[in-house]
Amino acid sequence: MKKLVCAGEILVEIMAERIGQSFLAPGPLVGPFPSGAPAIFIDQAARLGQPAGLIAAVGDDDFGHLNIERLRADGADISAIKVHRGAATGTAFVTYETDGSRHFVYNIKQSAAGLIEIGAEARALLAGADHFHVMGTSLFSPEVIEVARNGIETVKARGGTVSFDPNIRKEMLDLPGLRDALHFVLSKTDVFLPSGPELFIFAKAADEENAAREMLDRGISTVVVKKGAQGAVHYDQTGRTASPGFVVDEIDPTGAGDCFAAAFVSFWLRAEAPEKALRIANSCGALAVTKKGPMEGIASLAAVEAFLATAKTGAP
């Protein structure tokens, strides 16, 4: 089976217990939950049985070990996660506003996550990789951009493939080196996985189908637009395939896009038809939102199949 690798931040998420709870006053918290988009992605792929490894850095503290143990237990290759003495694992404190939006207090750039590098273990992991997945959130400094560039080049030189989930907001585009990095990543991307409105940061066309076609014309082979509860739409040279989302009670949306992407890419690497890859990916995204904590809803292939036996789709 093809092995996929991702590189980037590992952190823990600590959540305000009540909706609308402010961090400007003491209050009850829940967590720590293992987190970090690349960790969520790799954990979900491993739970689906795909060989998957992560290049990352954590502190030699409980938060770092919590993440490593979860990834190890779920079958991920943790050989290239470096544990740094004297650095702290990153944190994200999250509170949900009454309108459904999220408010974050982050410490990621200054945490051990910023110490990520291509060392001997990362080189060994990449030497056996068939696919590299890039996330926009992991391009927050010139050092981490360099790691992504190295991963892409190594995997492409071996005849492998690249997927890209931009997960980017317009205001991030002014980060040093980010525009150039995005240009480079897109020029190497085989599978592009934007969330609905993100597509229009990269394409000029004003409607989704033409924007997706514009991306295909740049040499990307597959575009999958994620649409939250509505599911996802897939575009390639043969046409358009829409796949509705599944009806679930949304408790916490963090991580859904990463679970969706991991499942889609895993089944794309298995050369499954778009309909099947989308159905599994929509299940993983739906199950992800049913639990508090970004990695708590991650499902095994057996759990996905059990869910699909009774799941109902919503309106596309």
Binding site for ligand ADP (CB under 6 A): 195, 226-229, 231-232, 245-246, 248, 250, 253, 256-257, 260, 282, 285-286, 289
| Cβ 119 to ligand ADP shortest distance, Å | 30
Q: C-alpha distances in angstroms, 312 versus 97, 107, 196, 247, 316?
A: 29, 39, 22, 6, 12
Q: Which pair of tokens denotes residue 245?
A: 């989302």
If the CB atoms of residues 33 and 78 are measured against ligand ADP, the closer one turns out to be 33
Of the residues 74, 77, 165, 258, which is catalytic? 258
| Cβ 65 to ligand ADP shortest distance, Å | 27
If the CB atoms of residues 151 and 245 are measured against ligand ADP, the closer one turns out to be 245
If the CB atoms of residues 135 and 155 are measured against ligand ADP, the closer one turns out to be 135
Per the annotation, the verdict on 249 as an active-site residue is no
If the CB atoms of residues 202 and 246 are measured against ligand ADP, the closer one turns out to be 246
3-state DSSP of 29-54: EEEEEEECHHHHHHHHHHHCCCCEEE
If the CB atoms of residues 80 and 233 are measured against ligand ADP, the closer one turns out to be 233
- C-alpha count within 13 angstroms, C-beta hemisphere, residue 41: 33
| Cβ 102 to ligand ADP shortest distance, Å | 11
DSSP string computed for 181-226: HHHHHHHH-SEE--BGGGHHHH---SSHHHHHHHHHHTT-SEEEEE
| Cβ 226 to ligand ADP shortest distance, Å | 3
Q: Which pair of tokens denotes residue 108?
A: 């990621």
The neighbouring-strand residues paired with 96 are 102
Q: Which pair of tokens denotes residue 27?
A: 């209050």
Q: From the CB of residue 2, how many other CB atoms can be counted at a distance below 10 Å?
A: 17
| Cβ 311 to ligand ADP shortest distance, Å | 10
Burial classification of residue 281, based on how many CB atoms lie within 10 Å of its CB (0-12 exposed, 13-18 middle, 19 or more buried): buried
Catalytic residues: 258
